[in-house]
Amino acid sequence: MASPYSDGEREKVASKLPPTLRQALKTRAAQLGIDMQVAVTEAVERWLGREAGQDATVDTAGADSFNTWLPAGLYDTFKAECSARDISFVQGLAQAIRAWVDSHAAPLTDLTIPRLTRRFIVCNQKGGVGKTTVAAGLAQAIALGLPATTGASKLPAMPGLRVLLVDYDPQGHLTEQLACKQIAPGTESLVTHMVERERVVGSLMDHIVPIAPEHFDGRLFLLPSSFEAFLLDSKLGGVRGPREALLQRALAPLEEHFDVIVIDAPPNLGLAMDAGIYYAHRRKNEAKGNSGVVIPVEAEDSSAHAYLMLEGQINTVSLDYEVDIDRLGLVVNKYDVRKGYVVATALEQWQSLQDPPVLSVVPDLKEQREAVHVKQPLLQYAPSSTQAQRMREIRRRLG
């Protein structure tokens, strides 16, 4: 399946590829400093130039969605040749990419580990603590980047990165706040890509929406929530095999398109949250603190109790599946000094934890509520506000 590219020179191609072959392609392209779509174009062109039967059959069992951009018309030519050779498009693409990887040896001096997409899961079992606010603000700050600082605290600039916000909460507050629509019932969504793969024919990339591209330089995107997410826990309960990796499997094809994925998680302790926490785990060769959970809290007692429940769930997932899950930090949100002794004492208690550290204290001010009311990103609506500055602080602290 192909759809036109915006400039007419390329078209988006949606196919499938075995996960191991996709990873091999991604790794080799990174080692050679070649854009993946350039590598796939070269692979397809070389395959077309070889006679039928020269390429060994590739095992495509378990192939997942794979998307790229090819020069306009090339995919039609490729499909016609696949039909002539009496093989599937998936098999033809797998043969082409397998041959390209095998014919491009990694540099002998290249010991670099390919970059992993960073994954920030913004979560708390308690609702109303500002998960959506923190997830959205963090993603916006990452997309915009940070300038270098001067004076006593000389800090380097942080370039803007391509960020995908994932609204994993069935309530859809993030989607609504960014003036987008939830994915309708019966339509492919993150839920179907997790638990109903037999219904999947398209790509999640088809549902991704750019957010204020003129302000964020085309680097901020949203995967909207789905009404069917209300049923995700029950659907996960009926899945055979390991459920914890279903979110990771669904989002894996998107990772090559983004530098960072930020997930606004649901306020519960169910199976969907298990999958969300698991997605944050430290992967092989990934540096400690590169990915993990960010936990918004409030300066009050019930928030502390909810944090302990979430901490218990993180420990359970970590032990059950033998993975490391980094707690990147707390964000004390909606802080109002006028509430006196109770909030001051609670803040001291959060800060005394030290591990995880308090990344920032975000005051309860009007700008965030106004941004939600007008359905604009906070860092677009009030970029100089104290709350916006705190989101930049969180981004800086995460490195």
- For tokens 């680097």, the residue is 219
User: Cα separations (Å) of 139 from 145, 182, 225?
Assistant: 10, 19, 16
Please give the backbone phi and psi of residue 21, each rounded to the nearest 5 degrees, phi first: -75, -35
Beta bridge partners of 37: none
Beta bridge partners of 294: 122, 329
Beta bridge partners of 13: 2, 68
Residue 393 and residue 195: Cα distance in Å, rounded? 37
pTM: 0.76
Domain boundaries, the chain: 2-103, 118-398
Decide: 177 and 372 in contact? Cβ < 8 Å. Answer: yes
Q: Which fold has domain 2-103?
A: Arc Repressor Mutant (1.10.1220)
Helix (H, G, I), strand (E, B) or coil at 328: strand
Burial (CB < 10 A; 0-12, 13-18, 19+), residue 34, is middle
Residue 187 and residue 201: Cα distance in Å, rounded? 11
Tokens of 208: 């991704």
What tens-digit pLDDT sequence spans the chain (399 residues)?
Answer: 444 444 457 788 888 898 889 888 988 887 787 888 899 999 999 999 999 888 999 999 888 888 888 898 999 999 999 999 999 999 999 999 999 999 988 775 544 445 789 999 999 988 888 999 999 999 999 999 999 988 777 888 999 999 999 999 989 999 999 999 999 888 889 988 888 877 777 888 889 999 999 999 999 999 999 988 787 877 787 776 678 889 999 999 899 889 999 999 998 888 989 999 999 999 988 999 999 999 999 988 788 888 899 999 999 999 999 999 999 999 999 888 787 887 888 889 999 988 999 999 999 889 999 999 999 999 999 999 999 999 999 999 999
Superfamily of domain 118-398: P-loop containing nucleotide triphosphate hydrolases (3.40.50.300)
Which residue type sits at 313?
Answer: Q
**End-to-end CA, the chain:** 39
What does the DSSP 8-state code read for residue 226? B
Phi-psi region of 69 (alpha: psi -120 to 50; beta: other; left: phi over 0): beta
Helix (H, G, I), strand (E, B) or coil at 50: coil
Q: Would you state the torsion angle of the CA atoms of residues 136, 211, 275, 117, taken in this order, to the nearest 10 degrees?
A: -90
Decide: 75 and 69 in contact? Cβ < 8 Å. Answer: no
Q: Are strands 10-17 and 64-71 parallel, antiparallel or unpaired?
A: antiparallel
Cβ neighbours of 218 (radius 10 Å): 14
